[in-house]
Amino acid sequence: MINFNYENDFTLDNEQQLSDWIARVVAIEKCEITEINYIFCDDDYLHKLNVEFLEHDTLTDVIGFDYSIGKNLQGDIYISTERVADNAKDLLLPFEAELQRVIVHGILHFCGYKDKTESDAMVMTTKENEHLTRLS
């Protein structure tokens, strides 16, 4: 089950399409969804989580709390729509394109991909690009 929750004024207008896409990504990665919650929020909300739980005093676009057991994915993925909008502007991309990248980035972490090293980040970006082409 994939749930979309909103802690700010933002709402998705294509929840079913995104849910179907995320499910396809997870299946391709040979994982299964138990329960994934996407929570859309603002910078302040996500910053508080970043400080409290990760001890990082920085703004970020996405934080995941992964409760998965093996290949059965379960967890919460928090996305700051403010940060996504700023990043999209900086990257000269449409908001939707950056949002989709962050959505898939979060679920790929739950599938086992990392991005702390340069080589891991390159693999993650390749996977993001591969799965973004599957969004229809």
Per-residue pLDDT tens digits for 72-115? 999 999 999 999 999 999 999 999 999 999 999 999 999 999 99
Q: Is the pLDDT of residue 55 over 90?
A: no
Q: Is the separation of the CB atoms in 45 and 7 below 8 Å? A: yes
User: Domains of the chain by range and CATH?
Assistant: 2-132 (3.40.390.30)
Triad 133, 62, 131: Cα angle to 5°: 15
DSSP string, 32-62: EEEEEEEEEE-HHHHHHHHHHHH---S--SE
Q: What is the pTM of this model?
A: 0.93
Residues in the annotated binding site for Zn(2+): 105, 109, 115
Residues in the annotated binding site: 105, 109, 115
Burial degree of 123 (CB within 10 A; 0-12, 13-18, 19+): middle
Q: Is the pLDDT of residue 65 over 70?
A: yes
